[in-house]
Amino acid sequence: MSKKVGPLDIYNLLPRTNCGRCGESTCMAFATKLIDGVYELEDCPPLFEDPKYAENLAKLKELTRPMVTYIDIGPKERAVRIGGKRVLYRHELTYHNPTAIAIDVSDDLSDDEIAKRAKEIDEFKLVRIGEELKLDLIAVRSVTGDPKRFSEVVKLVMENTQKPLVLCSFDPEVLEAGLAVAKDQKPLIYAVTEKNWKDVSDLALMYDCPLAVFVPNDLKKLRSLVNTLFEKGIEKVALDPGTFLGEGFKDTINNFTMIRKAARDGDKLLGNPLIGVPLISWTKPEAVPELTKWREAWMACALLLRFADMLIMHSYDVWVQLPLLTLRQNIYTDPRKPVAVEPGLRVVGNPDENAPVMFTTNFALTYFTVMSDVEKLDCYLLVIDTEGLGVDSAIAGRKLTADKVAEAIKESGVEQKVKHRKIIVPQLAARLKGEIEDLSGWEVIVGPRDSSGIPGFLQERWKP
């Protein structure tokens, strides 16, 4: 979408009936959120139901066309969407559709190993600042080259996971065997090449599945092959320009950057989701496996930063995935507002009338860090609305003041829950001590600088 398109440009082409079927009360509200990527045109049913809007619909499709098209992988009810970026850089507008992470399962493993691996990928979960971080896809990879074995493995994986699939082979016969089993799963076919494009593209049309295009380190040929596929009627394609090891990795980064900048400049052939394959690390494993995993992890992070919409990996060790998932979580948030939680009083454990009372801000990272450090205690935690800022920044920006603390104490009802009048404040808020005491009538105790020190601090200092 052009950055010059504004809400009024969209609004003037909408039905303007304020019917509310999109979930918004007005068409203007829908237009604003459509630009931000919160809604798609399909969320406005009248545009598609009434023929009189056909001309406007065509104009809207062109106006709202994202810089990068999107692809849905998997059946509708649990599809993973990749691509759909509307801007090059995150500070311009919120990124949507987080980079999908696929973990491979190869057909040279035993049935027990395949089932175990698929289940572990399916159940993988980390929790950070209140959000569950998960893996997204399973890439079933043909190593044996045997169509029969490949179809058996695809079926076995489907029995042990709900994750959408990527079917990986350059052999059309192998891919067809897998598609015959997974035809209702709408897997991503990986991949079409200069040699197999005719047969594999026929499979994509036959099974109505998205298609990955693999042309290593030659953007001119990649673009030409995409054009051939478009002419054949296949538009849902993803691009893999190759992931290379060693000195070749700089070519990988350059290719990813050039493709995405071409998309920004309006090149529709290169305006498709990008696939990176850090799995390539395992083609030349280090003597120490941990070094290979480390290499795969940093390659994945680098590709994520260079616009990758999907990554195919091998290792799902927590220490490999944690930095990648954390980086992804940080990038795919709204840069215009901090991540915040609801303010208010939290009851931790089973506090009584002598339990300690503490406060923190509603910046999500601060809040969940503090909660993890006090979760085994019996206390009251007052979460103050600082518009999502941490303690130090909130005080500097006048979002955390003595007035706010005193007001929060009064409104929370904590005075009716404890018989003492003592509140423990973060050490970074020590400068507010006197003012809080004057305004609230509570005694202020300055706590430790880091919330990890709270349990020890209470053991030594808390005397109701």
Distance CA 187, CA 170 (A): 15
Q: Let me know if residue 59 belongs to a domain.
A: yes
Which among 63, 91, 108 is the end of a domain? 63
CATH code for the domain in which residue 245 is found: 3.20.20.20
49-78: pLDDT as tens digits: 999 999 999 999 888 888 999 999 999 999
Which among 331, 362, 381 is the end of a domain? 331
What pLDDT does 140 receive?
98
- pLDDT above 70: percentage of residues in the chain: 99
CA distances from 265 to 67, 68, 268 (A): 8, 11, 9
Whether residue 293 is found in the same domain as residue 404 = no
Enclosing domain of residue 46: 7-63
Mean pLDDT (whole number) for 373-394: 94
Determine the length of the chain: 464
Mean pLDDT (whole number) for 134-148: 98
Would strands 165-168 and 126-128 be described as parallel, antiparallel, or unpaired? unpaired
Q: In total, how many domains does the chain have?
A: 3
- Asked whether the beta carbons of 351 and 384 are under 8 A apart, the reply is no
Whether residue 242 is found in the same domain as residue 314 = yes
Question: Residue 3 pLDDT more than 70?
Answer: no
Of 63-67, 263-267, 307-311, 417-421, the poorest mean pLDDT is in: 63-67
* Structure-block tokens of residue 436: 């809080």
Q: Which residues pair with 183 in a beta bridge?
A: none
What pLDDT does 398 receive?
94
Question: Residue 26 pLDDT more than 90?
Answer: yes
Which among 24, 47, 63 is the end of a domain? 63
What pLDDT does 432 receive?
96
Reported as a pLDDT band with limits 50, 70 and 90, residue 6 is confident
Distance CA 218, CA 223 (A): 9
Q: Which residues pair with 141 in a beta bridge?
A: 106, 168
CATH code for the domain in which residue 14 is found: 1.10.15.40
Whether residue 221 is found in the same domain as residue 246 = yes
Q: DSSP readout, 142-162?
A: -SS--HHHHHHHHHHHHHT--
What pLDDT does 2 receive?
42
What pLDDT does 464 receive?
66
Q: Let me know if residue 418 belongs to a domain.
A: yes
Whether residue 139 is found in the same domain as residue 256 = yes
**What value does the CA radius of gyration of the chain take, rounded to a whole number of Å?**
27
Q: Let me know if residue 337 belongs to a domain.
A: no
The Cβ of residue 138 has, within 10 Å, a number of other Cβ atoms equal to 25
Whether residue 198 is found in the same domain as residue 94 = yes
What is the pTM for the complete model shown? 0.84
Whether residue 298 is found in the same domain as residue 398 = no
Would strands 211-214 and 188-192 be described as parallel, antiparallel, or unpaired? parallel
Whether residue 99 is found in the same domain as residue 123 = yes
10-20: pLDDT as tens digits: 999 999 999 99
Backbone angles phi, psi at 458, to 5 degrees: -65, -40
Between helices 197-207 and 219-231, what is the axis angle to 10°? 40
Question: Residue 91 pLDDT more than 90?
Answer: no
What pLDDT does 4 receive?
65
Whether residue 171 is found in the same domain as residue 258 = yes
Q: Let me know if residue 2 belongs to a domain.
A: no
CATH code for the domain in which residue 407 is found: 3.40.50.11600
Query: Which stretches does DSSP call E strand in 154-208?
Result: 165-168, 188-192
Mean pLDDT of the chain: 94
Whether residue 299 is found in the same domain as residue 442 = no
Q: Let me know if residue 1 belongs to a domain.
A: no
Whether residue 281 is found in the same domain as residue 386 = no
What pLDDT does 1 receive?
47
Question: Residue 411 pLDDT more than 80?
Answer: yes
What pLDDT does 220 receive?
97
Question: Residue 338 pLDDT more than 80?
Answer: no
Whether residue 303 is found in the same domain as residue 372 = no
175-189: pLDDT as tens digits: 999 999 998 999 999
Whether residue 322 is found in the same domain as residue 436 = no
